[in-house]
Copies of this chain bind each other. A is one copy, B any other.
C-alpha cells in the first residue's frame, strides 16, 4: 500500500514527467523514489557537494542560493510544486555551484540521478524535458544578470516582488502574495542590504503601490510595480 500511495503521489504531482514514461519506467521510479520532509530553512543540498539526486518539490517552497563575498547571499531561483531541481550539476559533471533549502516546511521526492540518466538514455521525451528546462533556466539566469547588475534598488525590489507573484501567485483576495518571506530573503533575492529592502518597501507603501502587514505583502498597483521593475 505504500507503493500504491507513492504511485498516487508521483502520478498526480509529477504529471508532466510521469506522462512521458511507460509502465516499466514508472515501476523503476516507484521502486527508487524516496520521500523526504524538510523543515523551514533546512538545507537540501549544499554548494560543492556532489550531486546525487534529482529533487522534486511536492509541497512547500524552496530556494536555490549561492553564498558570495563577505557572507552575502544571492537567491538564484525559487522553486514551487511541482518543480525539479538539483540535476544541473550532475549533467554538467561537476559539484553543485549553489545550495538549496526549504523556505517553509516541504515535502520532496528524491530519485537517484544515475537512474534518471538511465531513463533518459532510453526515453528521448525525457531528454527533451530536461533540454527544455535547462534552456528556460539559462535564459532566466542570463536575463537576471542584467537585471541585478543594471537596475537600481527600486527596480530590483519591484522585480523581486513580481518574481514572487509569478512563482507563488496571490492568496484568494487576488492581491496578497502567497509567500511568507522575511526582509532578509527579500533583500537576498534583489541584491541589496536588508536595510535597503525595508526602506524601499516603505517607499512603495507611501506611494500606495503595496500594503504591508508584517510579512504579508499586498500588491495594490501591479502595473506600476511592473513599470518600476522595467525602467529602473
- Chain A contacts to B: CB under 8 angstroms: 66, 68-70, 72, 74, 76, 88-89, 91-94, 97-98, 120-122, 124, 127-128, 130-132, 134-139, 141-146, 148-151, 155, 191, 231-232
Whether B138 and A88, one on each chain, are in contact in the complex, defined by CB atoms closer than 8 angstroms, is yes
* Closest chain B residue to A146, Cβ basis: B68
Among B135, B142, B145, point to the contact of A91 (Cβ < 8 A): B135
Whether A132 and B91, one on each chain, are in contact in the complex, defined by CB atoms closer than 8 angstroms, is yes
Residues of B within 8 A of A137 (CB): 138
- Most chain B CB within 10 A, of A145, A149, A231, is at A145
Bound CA–CA A76/B148 (angstroms): 13
Among B91, B127, B136, B146, point to the contact of A92 (Cβ < 8 A): B136
Known contacts A97-B142, A135-B134; A151 and B69 CB within 8 A of each other: yes
* Closest chain B residue to A148, Cβ basis: B149
Residue contacts A-B, CB under 8 angstroms, 28 given: A66-B142, A66-B146, A68-B146, A68-B149, A68-B150, A69-B146, A69-B155, A69-B231, A70-B150, A76-B142, A88-B135, A88-B139, A92-B132, A92-B135, A92-B136, A92-B138, A97-B139, A98-B142, A120-B127, A120-B131, A121-B124, A127-B127, A127-B128, A127-B131, A130-B131, A141-B142, A145-B148, A149-B149
Residues of B within 8 A of A150 (CB): 68-70, 72, 74
* Closest chain B residue to A130, Cβ basis: B131
A98 to chain B, nearest CB (A): 6
